[in-house]
């Protein structure tokens, strides 16, 4: 597979993961009745980027406590958003 084919496959896979995150976040918010105005695509993209960055940090030997603290912070932000007080559409 050429490098452009690999890049295309990676972009397609990343898009699918972000879409799955958005769907999951929407389902949780729907279940809780708190989905008004939340931009699920933006929230999913943020989650994907955060996890991708933490994966890179872990691969380069970053401090485990820093990674755990970052994950807890990101999950708290997502929980806040799902309560309806976070990322909003304009």
The tens digit of pLDDT for each residue in 51-73 reads 788 778 777 887 888 878 887 88
Q: Where are the alpha helices (DSSP H) in 2-63?
A: 3-32, 40-59
Among 16, 15, 45, 31, smallest CA distance to 82 is for 31
Among 5, 25, 34, 32, smallest CA distance to 75 is for 25
Q: What is the pLDDT of residue 58?
A: 78
The tens digit of pLDDT for each residue in 32-45 reads 776 667 787 887 88
CA 28 – CA 30 distance, rounded (Å): 5
Q: Which residue has the higher pLDDT, 86 or 17?
A: 17
């Amino acid at each position: 597979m050429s490098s452009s084919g690999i890049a295309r496959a990676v972009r397609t896979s990343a898009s699918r993961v972000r879409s799955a995150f958005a769907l999951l976040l929407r389902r949780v918010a729907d279940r809780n009745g708190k989905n008004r105005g939340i931009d699920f695509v933006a929230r999913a993209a943020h989650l994907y980027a955060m996890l991708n960055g933490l994966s890179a940090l872990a691969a380069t030997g970053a401090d485990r406590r820093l990674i755990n603290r970052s994950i807890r912070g990101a999950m708290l932000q997502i929980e806040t958003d799902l309560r309806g007080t976070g990322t909003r559409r304009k």
